[in-house]
Every structure is written in structure tokens, then in C-alpha cells.
Amino acid sequence: MKKEKRKYSKKISPREQAFLSLLAIDREGAFSNLEIKKVLSRSLFSKPDMHLYTALVYGVLQNELYLDHQIKKMLKSRTSLDFKVRELLRIGAYQLLMMDRIPDYAVISETVDLCKKYCPRAKGFVNGVLRNMARQKQQLKNWSWSDYENSVQALSIRASVPREILDIFLQVFGTKKGVQILMQMNQPSPLTLRANRLKTSREKLIHLLEEDGIESEKTLLSQEGIRVENASVTELSGTQACQSGLFTIQDQGAMLIAETLDPKAGEQVLDMCAAPGGKTTYFAEMMENCGQIVARDLYPSRLKLIDAQAARLGVTIICTEIGDSTKLDAKDHGRYDRVLLDAPCSGLGIIRRKPEIRYRFNRKEQKALIQIQRKMLLNAADALKAGGTLVYSTCTVDPKENGEQVQWLTQNRKNMKIEMTRQISLLDDRCDGFYMAKLRKTAQD
């Protein structure tokens, strides 16, 4: 399949760049957050164009099933849409149905112009579909549950969540909470910071941010978390507080995982899948920069991210190592007081941040992932001293990767005892969807 050439210049419009980025995400498997970051770092968009580009990419991905459903209503027959034509129609439909500030004529004109460039034979078709949608816009927007075959279909389409994933959420959280979570899944994620207790306090950091005109408040669950309401990551990165290492940008749920491990000064800690290092550096802050943390990852480039974070925060007790956590060196057996296994997973708990995850979920791939998680869990248990603590965490909500894995570990390592488990969601002070389990090793093998 031929790839569209990526473009990153000031001459390209935000709509065209959104089209090319969506092709890269949907056809080439790019991740939305990395694609957007790459585009914004290389292009010369004005601030309004940056916002439009970002809104289009995330908006189309977050609402793909809903947009396809509405586009289908505009087709007179079971028309088979070319991939590029479908992507253009999604971009146009999103602007017509979900972005009130752009005039209909501008949406249609811009989309047809893009069609002339990338699939000229379809320009009349695209023009007709979008004009028809514009005429029926109010009717399409005024939906009710009775418009669908059943409530499950309605929820799947309105939240743009495939049925298989919808079923997992309803199973884990129950119908009432599950529906609440799914209907809020496409809202923006909050921006949260972790105060660096080696250099400041949460109260002092809130005051410093206020002096820079940044409104913030304490998070309800994490002891060091701060939620920011009126600033972007870019704006925060430019503050003196950031450059001085007074905080780290991190989701509150990730902070809770580190707080669950609760490492102490002077201990030996292993972070098995550490990059990019948010939890690793929090461990060091909790340990008062005293002891040793071994942070491992498969790729040197990712370890550099940990080293850079540690240097900015004033952390000196982290030792980064290239390592495959599906294997355990003899020197690691029974060595550590505490181990974190933040395992690779299906990522269903962070769909807000990476909306394309919902369309890539695959049970066959998940089965292979579960076997990797199990190898890592055995190694994590074996790396602990007697009396040591293991925290197993994921950013998914599927019990097959969470509770069932922890039960499997206790059956295969009889000396591992569960002390607590917790599944959080955006209903928990707007956190991402993290699972965490705390286990203690009662005796050495």
C-alpha cells in the first residue's frame, strides 16, 4: 500500500496536515501523540492553526465510529469508500457536526479542495455527501437512544468504542459506572504535575505557578499531585519552575502506582520497565535520594529519557541499564527490597490520550502479551528479598491482564501474597485507567 508523503511546512493547511496525519495513524500504525508532536515540532503553524490541526486529528479518532455512522446515512446505497475518501469525509463530518465555529460552506469548500488534490475523481461525490449532511445537520445532531437498534449499539456508536472493548468496561465497572466512563472517554485528559519533594512542596509550587498566571489545585488522591487548568504542556515547560526541576508532568494514576510501592530511604529498588522514568524519579524523591534504584528498558534511547529527567530533578540514585525483563540475571535473584513491574499491556485505560488504541485491540496479540507479562511477573517475584514488596501495574482495564495475572502469579509462586488490588478510572478524580496490585514475598525460594 502506497504511503502518502508526510509534509511539515508552513505552506500546508492544518486540514491537509490532519488528513496526512490520520492516514499515517490509520494506515501506517503511527501513534497519535507522537505523530502530533512530530508535526508541531517541524511545522510553522500559527497558534490557531496548531489548535485546529490537533483538534481535527484527535476529534476524528475519538469519534470515528460515530462519524462513519453518520456518513453512512448520507449514502444512497452500500457504497464502498476509498480509504482516502473516507478519511476526508470524516474530517468534513467532524467539522460539520462537532465544531460549531466553522461555517458549513468553509468546511465543504476546504474538504473538496483537498479531494481535488488527493483523489480528484471523487470531488463531486464528497461535495454531495457533505452538502447533504450540512442540510440535515440539526436532525443528525439531535439524537436519542431510540434511534438505534438497542442501547448497546447506541453506546458503542455514540462513544465510538468497539463492542468488544465496551463489554470489557461494562464487565469491570458495572453498567452504571461503565456507561459514565464510556460517555466521558472522549473528553480531554487533565494536565497534572507532581511536585518534586526534594526541592519544594506542593503548596509552594502552587504559589509559584500562580505568580506565573497558572491556575492550579491539589489533586484529591495523590499526595504530591497538582492539576493545572489554564496552561499547556508547552507553556509549563517554559516556566522557571520546570527548568529548575520543581515538578514533573505525570498523570495522577501513575503517581498512585509509585505511592503504592512506597519505597523507603536506603532501600534497593528495581523498576523493570522504567522508561520514560516518571515513576522511577518519583521513587527517588520518596526515598530522599538515598539508596539505589535500578531502572531497566530494552532501548538505550528510552533510558536517556530517564537520565535526562533525573538530571533536571536533581536525582542521583538511579542506575539505568539495558535489560529484557522477560529474563532474570543470577545477580538479581533475591536482591531487591521493592520491585515495580509496570508491564506492557493493551492500554485500554489510556484511550483518552491515545484514541486509536480502541481500534487496534486484538485478542490474538493480547494472548501473546499475557505470556510476556507472566514471564516478567515470575522474574519480578524472584528478584525480591524475603519480605519484599512487588507492585504489578498496567494501564489497561481488562481482567485478563490484571487480576487474573496476579492470581496466576500466586498459584505459581506460593510465597507471594496479595495485599491489595485497585482499578481506577476517570471517575476517580479524572485519573487515567490504571490497575495496581501490591504483593509481599513471605519467604525466599
Q: Which active-site residues does the annotation give?
A: 395
Give the list of residues 6+ apart from residue 57 with CB closer than 8 angstroms, or none.
18, 21, 22, 25, 32, 35, 36
How much of the chain is helix, strand and coil, in % rounded to 5? 55, 15, 35
Ramachandran area for residue 82 (φ above 0: left; ψ -120 to 50: alpha; else beta):
beta
Inter-residue contact 430 to 438 (CB < 8 Å):
no
Compute the distance between CA of residue 373 and CA of residue 376 in angstroms, rounded to an integer: 5
SS3 (DSSP) at 316: coil
Count CB neighbours of 366 within 10 A. Answer: 17
Joined together, the cell numbers standing for residue 350 give 489510556
Kindly report the CA angle at 386 between 383 and 390, in degrees rounded to 5? 55
Q: What are phi and psi of 312, to 5 degrees?
A: -65, -35
Identity of the amino acid at 190: P
Listing DSSP states for 74-137 in one string gives H-SS-PPPPHHHHHHHHHHHHHHHH-TTS-HHHHHHHHHHHHHHH-GGGHHHHHHHHHHHHHTH
SS3 (DSSP) at 419: strand
Listing DSSP states for 146-215 in one string gives GGSSSHHHHHHHHHT--HHHHHHHHHHHHHHHHHHHHHTTTSPPPEEEEE-TTT--HHHHHHHHHHTT--
Give the list of residues 6+ apart from residue 75 with CB closer than 8 angstroms, or none.
129
Q: What are phi and psi of 393, to 5 degrees?
A: -140, 155
Instruction: Write out the H or E segment, with its range, that includes residue 311.
Output: helix 300-313
